[in-house]
Structure 1
Amino acid sequence: MDATEIQPTYGLTAEQTFGLIAGGEPALTHTVKAAEDSIELAQEDLAAVQLTAQDIVVASAASGQTPYTLAALQYAQEKGALGIGFSCVEDSPLAQLANYPITPVVGPEVITGATLLKAGTAEKMVLNMLSTGIMVKSGKVYQNLMINVVPTNGKTFERAKKIIAEATQTSLLAAERALERANNHVPLAIVLIETKGTIAEAKALLAATNGHVSQAVKLNDKQH
């Protein structure tokens, strides 16, 4: 869920962030027996997405010992990818294997063994924190605004205008005009208004800062 929501929220593609689950998509709505016990399945799933050393694998298993998850993290490390291990058991096999273990202390479940309760909630919160932090660090947020929203319908177009107006302290009309000039690209529209430059200049600033709006604005200030 978190990997999927990142896409429209921050303007990423399905190739950049996605989730894998033991048993594949059918396991999202139906129990796929023994899938989480399969080491081979984990290896096949990661091989199918052509995992490389440039990737990051966040392996999640509440118990920290699910064979599918452990095998996935092991495969990732063999490929040189960064491995993050999320579990709710201190010093679990998953935590020991991970480059960066994350082990929140959730305490006993209300119903013993029902890890979809406290552990499941902790998992969602931790993944939210991870993705939010990464998006902020990579420039997908300006001030505290979700600037990489992709205007694909009336609702998101209005949201984009409001974000631009708030980010630049300007009117909705000015925001709409900038968004039109920027061909519906919100970060470009913001840089246009903040720097008072041309489309070409704004694009050059974003290219020089790898799309990081805050850095693009600061770079413009230095240049002038």
Structure 2
Amino acid sequence: MLDETDSAANSRLAELLDVLSHLDTEAASTERGDLDLLDTAELVVRMNAEDQRVPLAVAEHATDIARAVDGITERFRRGGRLIYIGAGTAGRIGVLDASECPPTFGTDPSMVVGLIAGGETAIRSAVENAEDDADAAQRSLLELELTERDTVVGISASGRTPYVVGGLEYARGIGALTVAIASNSNSDIGAAAEIPIEIVTGPEFISGSTRLKSGTTQKLVVNMLTTLSMIKLGKTYRGVMVDLIATNEKLHARSIRTVTELTGVGIDAAAAALQAAGGSVKLAVLMLVAGAEADPARAALAEADGILREAIAALS
């Protein structure tokens, strides 16, 4: 006979199986039962056709994404942060987006943060049962001293990951902006967040492999959350990165090229302006366009909250 522990475990398993059976991300497509019989070229065509569904599905949620971008931007302006929380692939996508912001936009590493269930180890290796710890994200958010000025974006393909649900519920309880990115409708994380972004793209190319279309969807959305909020903060000018940090030879060359393209000066003049500006592309461009020295140009940028277009207008 089953003891009470076994009975409870079987009951939870049956409940989970029932939940999974109703998720689009877990469904098996009857159109792909013959994948192992196809030649490679046909497999490429089939998989690419599935991937093409993703940007179209994302476009249907433009209003929700724009609302999230505006909320994130407003909190950035008040000194707030953007914090991603997720498990597995979803967590890695948040960590990746956060790690790309400092070199791309010149942000402090604390401005955009990625938290993944299981910690740093989980970035490269699976950490068993980490996603089931509903209190772990809250503990991490407490360590970060989360406030109402921050934004927490929970990412989960299934939309039911306990780690993400717990983190969003805690964040919303203290007044932080909460956003959920899920690949199933009527999701648990959507219900826990102020702004649910539930983008359904149908069964995965390989049933249940949510690193595929779901992962691509998540990457497209987080790209927009950070890129568009940074544009609104003045981190770009005429579609070009002007707050990048030259941490290697390639980025140094890109800095010089950016200055030449935006100002029309030659390489030597661009390099000299960059040196006078302490390596700041934005400041170098302002100095050259407005014909200003470094100190007044720096003051104009500060007055314009770092928005180059406004600083140029002020000095012209």
Q: TM-score range by the shorter chain?
A: over 0.9
1:12 counterpart = 2:107: yes
Partner of 2:225: 130
Once residues 198 and 262 of structure 2 are traced to their aligned partners in structure 1, the CA distance between those partners, rounded to angstroms, is 36
Displacement of 1:18? 1.5
Give, as a single letter, the amino acid of the residue that structure 2 aligns with 1:70: V
Aligned to 1:121: 216
What pairs with 1:62-211 in structure 2 (closer than 5 Å)? 62-211=157-306
Question: What are the Cα deviations for residues 63-89 of structure 1, in whole angstroms up to 9, with x where unaligned?
Answer: 111110011111111221111110011
More helix by share: 2
Q: CA deviation at 1:13?
A: 1.5
Letter in 2 for 1:110: F
2:152 partner SS: strand
Measured in 2, the distance between the counterparts of 1:2 and 1:168 equals: 30
CA offset at residue 126 of structure 1?
A: 0.9
Unaligned runs of 5+ in 1: none
In structure 1, the partner of 2:152 is 57
The one-letter code sitting in structure 2 at the alignment partner of 1:130 is L
Per the TM alignment, residue 170 of structure 1 is displaced from its structure 2 partner at its CA by 2.0
- Post-superposition shift, 1:218? 2.2
**Shift of residue 105 of structure 1?**
2.6
Deviation at 1:112, TM superposition (A): 1.7
Larger Rg: 2
Kindly tell me the number of residue pairs found equivalent between the two proteins. Answer: 221
Measured after TM superposition, the shift of residue 134 of structure 1 is 0.8
**Could you say what secondary structure the match of 1:65 adopts?**
coil
Q: Greater relative contact order (Cα 8 A, min sep 6): structure 1 or 2? A: 2
TM-fit CA distance, 1:57: 0.8
| Preserved contact between residue 151 and residue 178 of structure 2 (Cα < 8 Å) | yes
**What displacement does 1:155 show?**
2.0
CA distance in 2, matches of 1:212, 1:161: 20
Of all paired residues, the percent bearing the same amino acid is: 38
Unaligned runs of 5+ in 2: 1-95
- Report the alpha carbon displacement of residue 131 of structure 1 after superposing the two structures with TM: 1.1
What residue is the counterpart of 1:37 in the other structure? Answer: 132
Q: TM-score, normalised by structure 1?
A: 0.95
Dislocated runs of 4+, deviation >6 Å: none
- Partners in 2 of 1:168 and 1:104 — Cα distance? 41
